[in-house]
Structure 1
Amino acid sequence: MAKTEIASVLSFEKKLVCSDVFFYGTTWHGRLTQKATPLALIEKSVRGTISNRLKSAVANDPLKLNAEVEKANLQKVDACALGEGQDTLKLQFTLKVLGQVEKPSACNNAIFKASYEKAALEYIEQEGFTELAKRYALNLANGRFFWRNRVGAEHIEVVVQVAEQTWTFNSFDYSLRNFDGVNDDIQSLAAKIAEALSSKTPFLLLNITAYAKVGQAQEVYPSEELVLDKGKGSKSKILYHVNNVAAIHSQKVGNAIRTIDTWYPDYQNAGKGVGPIAIEPYGSVTNLGVAFRNPKQKSDFYTLFDRFAQGEKLESKEQEHYVMAVLVRGGVFGQSSKE
């Protein structure tokens, strides 16, 4: 199939659908018996110091420097913390897993669509999403979705429930750096996820409750809102909440769960400091300003997907896993008709 035959309209719906994560405060010993209380945001007015990097003319002149640092840096910020007598952060959210990855939600090229569906069905028949499901299950078990709240926690426990079945994980038993720590519970949960992704079941709805013992009255960290009209608001830091309950964005949770890419070319080198990265078409890690899947290396999603969807065999199963993981993520992947 010629490159010009790739669909110009092509999109896939995401198959891992997360809710927002809601914050509650409780105690570690009473986490299963006591009623947890929703955590609200706290507004603080603080007088900070000038600490940004100054121009050389100011930094090298003691009089100008003194005049600059004497200025009050007044700020209003949002914060969130456990209550007095509480030492444990409780998180609650749901994750819905959907199937039919082989069916684009929109595609304007019937030949391309048929070719892609054939390749996808072959992958599902051979692999059954078992590798991807295992990695998603491990990212639930290791509590990666706690993000900054995971740092410095004394204990972390994750409880995953579906229908009458429940799995309980000690998160520190599972690494954030690799996906080798597979046991019977991980395999059981992964099998449920794989069945839903493979359309063997209509869908899977997981209820996740997680606990992190972070210390009495310690600060905890909801998502920070991106403020596009800076200067118009009164606060310099705005945290996310839903009906006055602190929360983490569903997009951020989804990013944590799909942080499974250890197949990018520089994983053995750059990956020693980075580890697994989130599934993205160009392997983008925004806080590092690096795209680990460069089209020049022919390791980006579009290069691999175009070959995969047209029936060409990729060099490795790892490349196929990556392509299918991007499709599970969802997105708009059509080729512009102007190219």
Structure 2
Amino acid sequence: MAKSKTPGTQSFETGMLAYARSLQISEGVFFGIDGDKRVPVEVLEKGVRGQSSEDRARNPGLSNPQTVEFAVLPQGCTAVELAFSVRVLPMAMSPHACGSPSVATAYETLATSYARAGGFDVLAARYVWNIANARFAWRNRFQVDTSRVTVGFAGQVLVFDPARLSLDRLEDADTLAAALLEGDRTLLGQFISGISGGMTTAPFWFEVTWRGEMPPGQEIFPSQEYIRESKAEKDVSRIYAKLPRFHAGREIGHASMHSQKIGAALRHIDDWHGDDGYGPIAVNPYGGVQETADVLRRAKNSFYDIRKKADEVLAIVQAANSAEDLPGSVHFLMANLVRGGVFGSSSKAAEANG
């Protein structure tokens, strides 16, 4: 028999709970810049002869011929460009699917109160920081000496110098404004407000372009694919993401960056985890860091641990007069809902909720 909830308590626990993502990001595509022309960066294939150097190699120290995909800046080009677009939607204001009407109401109350206190403004400013610092270019960011990020929205343009911004610590509004090459602080505020409003009321759309100067022939790093069986038969040991495109009279594989990888970069806003050894990490329920295999939110501060305290969380958010009254745990909770995903409770937790 299911256990009854204590009268007067609210809960975020139910067996079925899912949120649609609020940041709908396109696939990123790479171009070479030749004067005023944009030339698609093509993914190509080559054979290389490496050397077996892994632990317990079958032929240690001997040659290891393999086929890999690669991408380089086309000849005649002097810069690389990565472009994508983002549509911000108010999907965190209520569950996409929920197994309990009372739980759905609790989440809607949380989101409405969080919005009233200005919580979404905090998240929006952090996403803008990761756009301005070009984290989404990943390894390509370090391939260039000078670069710029251009943001277009509602007929307006902002241009940032990523080199003026840190990847390891969150920057305040003054530092973000100081990184502007075009636009001013007022327009920057409008951009942040646009993203915040997109997460709460009406959809908001913007475009992002990163451009960095580099010599032709230098390597470019698209997203890397997992090896598919069809490709494995050809012994291609490294496969890059690409989109089919007709160019110069033939179909090519246009080098691309996965929307998920761009999204992971923009979600590097969790510095509420409490681990002094890390700066901001990508928002995810357990605070997992793929690069190091560390999990920073095991000790009673995961998404699931925080949401167990529904009454406490709702009381804090409803009493907040501004974003300064909101603790990091609440921002983290809401950032996961913005991220989207399936967050259903375990069968025991769902049963306890009745």
TM superposition score normalised by structure 1: 0.86
Give yes or no for the alignment of 1:83 onto 2:89.
Answer: no
- What is the aligned residue count? 314
Measure, in 2, the Cα distance between the counterparts of 1:298 and 1:277: 18
Determine whether 1:234 maps to 2:235.
yes
Distance in 1 (alpha carbons) for counterparts of 2:348 and 2:169? 41
Cα distance, 1:4–1:253 mapped onto 2, change above 3 Å: closer
Unaligned residue ranges in structure 2 (runs of 5+): 178-184, 245-252, 318-324, 350-354
In structure 2, the CA distance between the partners of 1:4 and 1:125, relative to structure 1 (3 Å rule), is closer
- 1:195 equivalent to 2:197? Answer yes
CA distance in 1, matches of 2:344, 2:215: 49
Structure 1 residues 311 and 151: alpha-carbon distance in aligned structure 2, compared to 1, 3 A threshold:
same
Q: Is the 8 A contact 1:137 1:186 kept in 2?
A: no
User: Which of residues 115, 124, 137 is equivalent to 1:133?
Assistant: 124
Identity %: 32
Corresponding letter in the other structure for 1:162: F
Q: Is it true that 1:250 corresponds to 2:259 in the alignment?
A: yes
- Residues in 1 aligned to 2:263 and 2:331: alpha-carbon distance in whole angstroms: 18
2:21–2:91 contact (8 Å) kept in structure 1: no
Query: Does structure 2 conserve the Cα–Cα contact (< 8 Å) formed by 1:5 and 1:109?
Result: no
Q: CA RMSD in A?
A: 2.2
Out of 14, 20, 37, the residue aligned to residue 13 of structure 1 is 20
Match of 1:62 in 2: none
Paired AA for residue 21 in structure 1: G
**What is residue 270 of structure 1 aligned with on the other side?**
277
Deviations 1:281-302 (A, max 9, x none): 00011120111111xx211011
For residues 44-99 of structure 1, give each alpha carbon's deviation from its aligned partner in whole angstroms, at most 9, with x where no partner exists: 111112222347xx9xxxxxxxx843x43110000000012323111111111011
Shift of 1:105: 0.5
244-253 or 86-95, larger mean C-alpha shift = 86-95
1:165 to 156, 160, 183: 156
2:119/2:331 contact within 8 Å kept: no
Deviation, structure 1 residue 234: 2.1
**Pairwise CA distance, 1:337:** 2.3
Per-residue CA deviation, residues 227-281 of structure 1 (Å, 9 max, x unaligned), is 2548534201111100010001110000001111111021xx211xxx2100000
Map residues 1-339 of structure 1 onto 2, 5 A cutoff.
Answer: 6-27=13-34, 30=35, 34-54=36-56, 68-69=60-61, 71-180=62-171, 181-183=175-177, 184=185, 185-199=187-201, 202-227=202-227, 229=229, 231-243=232-244, 244-266=253-275, 269-271=276-278, 275-294=279-298, 297-308=299-310, 311-313=314-316, 317-339=327-349
Q: Distance in 2 between matches of 1:323 and 1:239?
A: 34
Any conservation in 2 of the 1:138–1:186 contact (CA below 8 Å)?
A: no
Pair 1:54–1:6, CA change in 2 (3 A): closer
Q: For 2:242 and 2:300, how far apart are their aligned partners in 1?
A: 41
Indicate conservation of the 8 Å contact 1:97/1:196, yes or no: yes
Q: Would the alpha carbon gap of residues 88 and 308 (structure 1) be closer, same or farther in structure 2, given more than 3 Å must change?
A: farther
Quick one: distance in 1 between partners of 2:113 and 2:290? 34
Q: Deviations over 1:198-229 (max 9, x none)?
A: 21xx2011111220113332100001101254
| Paired amino acid for 1:251 | Q
Which one-letter code corresponds to 1:311 in the other structure?
Answer: L
Return closer, same or farther for 1:10/1:48 CA change in 2, 3 Å cut-off.
Answer: same
